Structure 1
């Protein structure tokens, strides 16, 4: 499994709803395309946010893997703290918006049927159960799995997959990626 955060440089200062990639973010993804290669048998699981979906469009411009949208890879804080207020830029598209904006992309329906129940502030036990169901689904797919998500979400999944004592210093950064061999 490859995990890739969406390119940064979106306007977090403005806390805008559904920010897209900037020119710098698009350049970061173009550079990343030289390091990884998505093949037709690969599956890309993407967060239902504008910047992650734009990231996938750039990643798959030359070769098309199977793209799937899942709220289970939507934004999630790390470390988790229920007293923090989620940012507007981390609001996911609704299922109806995904259907209108991305009608050709399938939605993965494992575990979380109510998209209003965001994983962003979900208690750890509930998130773990849902994330494990997504990982079980991933294990059944052919080819490589690419998860295009957000730094906090990726770090939460890395912990579930056996990495311990991670901090915000372990975030992958702007358009970075890591490879996890056994999921």
Structure 2
């Protein structure tokens, strides 16, 4: 029952996101970049676990490039054998198409290793298909972030779900395995 509800909510939220015009996307990119780069958690972090935007997702290019220019350690997801881990990136130009043609680090780069004493200096940015006013996040159905956060002590990481305002729904159906970000910023 919940799986079917999620599927319908995801489909509708993604249809709204896909329908955004180029000026709306550009405005969203500028606003989310401004909000993240001006966020206290960004300022306090020396490590950013970001994501490379794909398809109609809100563009994270400027966030990632700024983090690199600011001297932060930047890691982005890489999926292998159905498991997501974060790997270090040094430049957007080094990325290659990986799982579902989503850009990810090529070759052997350092994998992010969670250290509890470093949690307050790490910021995790989460993509999603839908978000609700209570801060619940719905991904794309693969459970990658949920599994990544559940099998570690990473729940103490400062995490922010980001997206477009059109992705907000009344309520995201929540399962026991769902992990929500500490904050959600929709623009």
Q: Output the TM-score relative to the length of structure 2.
A: 0.38
Structure richer in strand, relative to its length = 2
Structure richer in helix, relative to its length = 2
Q: Output the TM-score relative to the length of structure 1.
A: 0.39
Greater relative contact order structure (CA < 8 Å, 6+ sep): 1
